[in-house]
Amino acid sequence: MDALGRHADLLVRGGTVVTPQGSGKTDVACVDGRIVCLDAHGWSADQIIDANGLHVLPGVIDTQVHFREPGLENKENLEAGTRGAVLGGVTAVFEMPNTDPLTLYRADLERKSAAASGRAWCDFAFYVGGSALNAGELGHLERLPGCVGVKVFMGSSFGDLLADDDAVLRRILAHGRRRVAVHAEDEAGLRSRRRIAEASGDVRDHPHWRDVESALNATRRIVTMAGETGRPLHVLHVSTAEELAFLASYRNRVTVEVLPHHLTLCAPECYKRLGTLAQMNPPVRDARHREALWHALREGRVDVLGSDHAPHTLEEKARPYPQSPSGMTGVQTLLPVMLDHLSHGRLSLLRLVELTSSGPARVFGIEGKGRIAVGYDADLTLVDLKAQREITNRWIASVCGWTPYDGLHVTGWPVATIIRGHVVMRDDAVLAQPVGKPVRFSEEMAVTSA
């Protein structure tokens, strides 16, 4: 900045900027990776982006991705996953611990951070898995640089990462203070009902195998135990009307994530059309549950939209059901799909920003991100709300190379992604070099309980 304070590294000029106070046309000046002025009329800059006709959103934060590195790079890796993120307008991601080796200890977190350094296109943080093996260390592990917190798999996992025993769950919840993210499916129920899927061999039975009770029973258990230990919870990918009705009574200590997949796809049609490409855990369910998710979202009972980006190769997906793995891509399509819902009047732009920016910042105690305000990181997602595009497999950066939305025509598209003042994507092209750094979390959220 010059002596008069009117020169910026980057100036985003003429866009409709979405702030907590609402939307308005203004200029955003960025210096040293931070926002230094709104309404920066008359400023000069080293780089100027003409945002006329575009909306300028706070950088989108995807709080649930599986980038499969280390150990499963045939499906995905940190470079390709984060490249897909910025192509989709995402400026930060939180990556899950079910890699090989699992992310259970300090060395695992440090290995992932080192692998992301110089290769991640967007900012990043990693979950540590809550396990019987590391429960006593979680209060320390959750405070390490680049760690977003603890992830618990009550079902749909394997080996040391599966935590389906009440005693183990209580130990995990008792060690640490930060919000625990939970995949809530009842493992015992899933094992007893697997015969349904094996007998039919039909992926349309996926929501019958992994039924409503499997999700609801696990959610009830973990909410009760978290209440006993005083631990805040974040329930991932809520998929049923019954869970939403139950969780409505616990808004003071339990936050809720939903996925674009569950808001967009619908059984049985998606299974008939996509086969095992629509297979995920918890499952895509019927219209009753999808409408309940939309109702809760509009009422403000949903805190975060995550993608649950969980790729598998087409060869793996082609295995006979239920040997086929569950999971699909999502980080690159999260924003385009939700912008299309916006174009159809299913949610407001301000609500979308709450779910993808300010909501994640509030839930996880992210420092310096989640809003467009002076002093915050210059993370910006520029979108054209009127652009009409087609999502295709060719556009997908993921190693696996496919999306369940192949051929979907959408209205609304990300046209630029800016991370700490660096323009990393413009008009469907990644630019320069990867600039990703670990996300910072507030000290208040990172202090262990006594």
Q: Mind telling me the catalytic residues?
A: 308
Q: Retrieve residue 266's tokens.
A: 């619908």
Round the CA-based radius of gyration of the chain to a whole number and report it.
21
Q: CA-to-CA distance for 172 and 34, rounded, in angstroms?
A: 37
Residue from 158, 166, 235, 240 nearest 191 by CA: 158
Q: CA-to-CA distance for 58 and 209, rounded, in angstroms?
A: 39
Give every CB contact of residue 166 below 8 A, 6+ residues apart in sequence. 221, 225
Long-range contacts of 266-271, Cβ-Cβ distance < 8 Å, separation of 24 or more: 266/290, 267/204, 267/207, 268/204, 270/404, 271/203, 271/204, 271/206
Q: Retrieve residue 450's tokens.
A: 């006594």
Place of tokens 């919000």: 179
Place of tokens 């991370």: 419
Residue from 450, 409, 417, 412 nearest 436 by CA: 417
Task: Mark residue 14 as left, alpha or beta (left: phi above 0; alpha: psi -120 to 50; beta: remaining).
Answer: left
Q: What one-letter code names the amino acid at 299?
A: E
Q: CA-to-CA distance for 424 and 436, rounded, in angstroms?
A: 10
Q: CA-to-CA distance for 34 and 291, rounded, in angstroms?
A: 39
Place of tokens 């540590």: 128
Q: Retrieve residue 332's tokens.
A: 């690159």
Please tell me the number of Cα atoms within 13 Å of 87 on its side-chain side.
19
Q: Which residues pair with 438 in a beta bridge?
A: 124
> In 222-354, at which residue ranges do the beta strands (DSSP E only) sit?
233-235, 254-258, 304-305
Q: CA-to-CA distance for 187 and 284, rounded, in angstroms?
A: 18
Sign of the CA dihedral 48, 414, 368, 99?
negative
